[in-house]
A and B are shown apart, each in its own frame.
Chain A
Amino acid sequence: MYREMLTIRAFDEACYQQFRSDPSMGYAGIHAYIGEEATAVGVCSALRKGDKITSTHRGHGHLIAMGADPKLMMAEIQGKSTGYNKGKGGSMHIVSFELGILGANGIVGAGIPIATGAALAMKYKKLNEVCVCFFGDSAANEGVFNEGLNLASIWKLPVVFVCENNQYAVHTPVTESTSVADISVRAIGYSMPGVTVDGNDVLKVYDAACAAVERARGGAGPTLIESKTYRLMPHHGNMPDYRPPEEKEAWKAKDPIKRFEEVLTRSGLLDQAKKAEITREVAESIQAAVNFAKESQWPDPTEAYQDVYA
């Protein structure tokens, strides 16, 4: 868990560096997951092989938590042929069916009905699998939130809806955009359990996810988990950040990685030497990913015409 959290952070920091140093990487840059690592790692740790996820435009953390290879991710983000999607998807669309990643998605909320449908197929085929659907607080204000949760409830599907409430819809605070203080209360409207957890506490997230996954696998239907967290970076790479500095400082103090380190240290599972070792190994793996992407080939231009149709 700890190593995964560090990997996510180091990966997105490296992405930021890449985009800063190479303007040819496109306008949008990346949507960094920095600060939200406990949600992805806590939830995905509750899954087993065969389970699936749908992810979002801010999805690097979910993918790494599902075991994605930083090398193939970095290559995809840089549009190289060695990337997960052969360079066709980029940062917001990474897919790996092998790892159970049905896809990050560039449209807010779009994964909600898709995850619901995947769970429908799991139930129809009696696969005993679970689909986790990650989405943000803004997606909870989309129409598909209502449609997807209602369908999942009436059909009792093995899906877990994980709302990462990172407090902002681009620049608009959740307090201005959302009718409720806790998005989890909306679960009542769909006759499913709703729970709000401290999204910067990986063990709390893990516990909530285990309960929801168990419920889904047991055939009792969906759960809505709201994980309250905060993105420590702007909405995406090239954007100004209008959030109050004191608010950012307050959330920095609740950094999920620091908090988990404290827990691990207190319980004797982590010491300075071990921490340094893991940090170094993570840094090496991310550097290897950067090098791999840099050295990888661009796609052949004729690739643009492939994969449209089966």
Chain B
Amino acid sequence: MSTRETTFGRAVAEAIQEEMARDENVIVIGEDCWRALEEDQMHPKYARKPHPRIFNTPISEAGFTGAATGAAMMGLRPILYFLMGMFMLSGFDQAVNQIPKLRYLSGGQAELPIVIYTANGTGMRYAAQHAWSLHPIFGNIPGFKIVLPSTPYDAKGLMKTAIRDGNPVLFLSHFLLEGTKGNVPEGEYTIDFGKADIKRRGKDVTLVAISDMVDRAMRAAKRLERQGIDVEVVDPRTVVPLDKETIFRSVEKTGHLVVVDDAHKTCSFASEISATVTEEKFNCLKAAPKRVAMADVPVPFSPVLEDEIFPSERKIVDAVKSVLNR
């Protein structure tokens, strides 16, 4: 299949457009939600007229999150778009107490094929309210699937799977990833949930990284290679469901584990993956796993301060050397 270079945001927009063409029940609902389709309606070439399948909303997060829920119960497949992930928290009850629970509570009667598409993360000098990663909060709520792609290729294939999945899916892009470029096939493809991708093969240490941290892990791996350390980088791509088998196989081979996550360290996915490996593969580990995550303080604005608490390339390198006792 021939490929071409495109951005992460464009790749996701293509996935949404293709799925809207494929299924008339797919709608987009949210604030300034034409941006989910990478369409700048403020540009004169676009007439600002209502689109029958794009429900641009007022800034009413609880209202339109609930509206997506009701629409889904009636057979639509809404893509719920938030300009920034944190804004979802204004509609927290609808997002966490309704969407992921109504199927279960109703004994399987309610179907909620909703994709929540938004960006979050740190590293943009946004300060604490706009800068953090939300996946641990949602990971603690059964009922969601959680997608954290790291490349445009993965993003497009996983978004198409998310729209077809039939369950509530939290699709989290990262602020630092949205403009990044990568090769994406011209034709149709999907990527299964729960299938990790080994982004780099190695034999000395398993480095599990998610979302924007994958790129950082790859750069750290290159630096470590020059120091004679052979790093395997595993990108789970979806944290719910989690491809434990691929992580386990890697740890069986390397005996060492470092997990990188830009969520705050306590209750992060770094914690979850470390605990899972320790619980189920303790015998394979030659050293205690290490977590490289955001410090447990609100994210400060000043670049100097944000960089201090950030899971940087240097911290990853140090953690890898530390588990290898080098």
A residues adjacent to B (C-beta < 8 A): 52, 54, 83-89, 93, 95-97, 102-103, 105, 107, 110, 112-122, 124-125, 131, 143-144, 146-148, 150-151, 154-155, 306-310
Contacts and interface: CB of A to CB of B under 8 A. Distances in A.
B172 interface: no
Interface size class of B (residues with CB under 8 A): 35 or more
Contact of A117 (B52, B70, B105, B110): B70
Contact of B70 (A96, A113, A306): A113
A308 B103 contact: yes
A136 B76 CA distance: 28
A95 B109 contact: yes
B94 A118 contact: no
Given A85-B109, A307-B108, A116 B63 contact: yes
Given A116-B63, A144-B63, A95 B105 contact: yes
B55 A155 contact: yes
Contacts of A151: 57-58, 60, 63-64, 67
Given A121-B76, A310-B113, 8 more contacts: A88-B105, A95-B110, A107-B93, A113-B69, A113-B70, A117-B66, A119-B70, A306-B108
Contacts, number: 152
B71 interface: yes
B105 A93 contact: yes
B64 A113 contact: yes
A155 B71 CA distance: 13
A150 B64 CA distance: 10
A153 to B, nearest CB: 11
Interface in B119-157: 142-143, 145
A117 B109 contact: no
Given A93-B105, A151-B57, A307-B107, A114 B70 contact: yes
Nearest to B63: A147
Contacts of B104: 88, 307-308
22 contacts: A83-B107, A85-B109, A87-B107, A88-B104, A89-B105, A107-B97, A113-B62, A113-B63, A113-B94, A116-B67, A117-B69, A117-B70, A117-B73, A118-B71, A120-B67, A121-B74, A124-B27, A144-B66, A150-B60, A308-B143, A309-B167, A310-B165
